[in-house]
Amino acid sequence: DQQVKQNSPSLSVQEGRISILNCDYTNSMFDYFLWYKKYPAEGPTFLISISSIKDKNEDGRFTVFLNKSAKHLSLHIVPSQPGDSAVYFCAAWVDSGYALNFGKGTSLLVTP
Amino acid sequence: DGGITQSPKYLFRKEGQNVTLSCEQNLNHDAMYWYRQDPGQGLRLIYYSQIVNDFQKGDIAEGYSVSREKKESFPLTVTSAQKNPTAFYLCASSPDDHTGYNSPLHFGNGTRLTVT
């Protein structure tokens, strides 16, 4: 049963605009949430994370927002650049667990 | 230059043959993981190991086997019992099993296995 859901398989955004990638989860016990970025034929790379006790974390152009009551998080990329075009995976972790739970990914295309 | 090395990048096998995928890390990480990626399916956990000589089944372990004889190495064998072995396989490691906020997974670049 998918505990982490990314309901948008793809997203297209113009360069310079904001990209918003969404993620929903079902397990209220998750302690951490992470975003990974993946290019074709490469492994995912860690992008940004947020603890469940926070509602926002910012790192340069990337900001993750967490709404625990809605069991929803989002990744904002501002401004979007063509190099941001990749698949973005949302992932979640329970401290008592053993591995990350991943969503199915959202493919972001940033057009010039 | 620390990292995770998966080899080969592309692998082709005939149905019915076992095949072993290599994963080596020089990050001195205790925990290692194998994930499988299929189109539209995200990443699904096959096996994980928190320490040398110990490993646990993940969500989709059937048809796979692993070993962890050395800290640096975590090879995955795809056996003939795996019904749909064609996929992109990703190996990952973490400083400890408390992967999360401060110790995210580090991934290798994957092995694309095609079985015909």
pLDDT tens string B25-57: 999 999 999 999 998 888 999 999 989 999 999
Instruction: Provide the mean pLDDT of chain B.
Output: 90
Residue A64 CB partners (closer than 8 Å, separation 6+): A33, A35, A48, A49, A50, A56, A57, A58, A73, A74, A75, A76
**More confident of the two residues A82 and A2:** A82
Distances (CA, A) of A106 to A96, B61, B69, B73, B81: 27, 25, 36, 31, 31
- pLDDT value at residue A65: 98
**Residue B102, pLDDT score:** 59
**pLDDT exceeds 70 at position A97:** no
pLDDT of B96 strictly over 80: no
Of A73, A34, A107, the residue nearest B39 (C-alpha): A107
pLDDT at B95: 83
d(CA B15, CA A109): 36
Residues of chain B with pLDDT > 90: what percent?
A: 74
On whether the CB atoms of residues A95 and B98 are closer than 8 A, the answer is yes
Angstrom CA distances, B35 to A13, A55, B115, stand at 30, 29, 18
pLDDT at B21: 96
How far apart (Å, rounded) are the C-alpha atoms in residues A50 and B99?
13
For residue B74, what are the β-bridge partners?
none
Task: Supply B24's token pair.
Answer: 């080596």
Size of interface A-B (CB pairs under 8 A): 67
Residue of B nearest to A7 (CA): B40
Best CA proximity match to B77, nearest among B29, B113, B50? B113
Provide, as residue numbers in chain B, all residues whose Cβ is less than 8 Å from the Cβ of A9: 40
Residue B64 in this model has a pLDDT that exceeds 90: yes
Query: Above 90 in pLDDT, residue A41?
Result: no
CA distance B116 to chain A (A): 20
A31 contacts in chain B (CB < 8 Å): 100-101
Give B94→chain A minimum CA distance, Å.
10
Mean pLDDT of B79-98: 87
Measured distance CA(B79)–CA(B64) in Å, rounded: 6
Taken in order B45, A99, B111, A44, the sign of the CA dihedral is positive
Q: What's the gap between Cα A44 and its chain centre?
A: 12
The yes-or-no verdict on residue B98 having pLDDT over 60 is: no
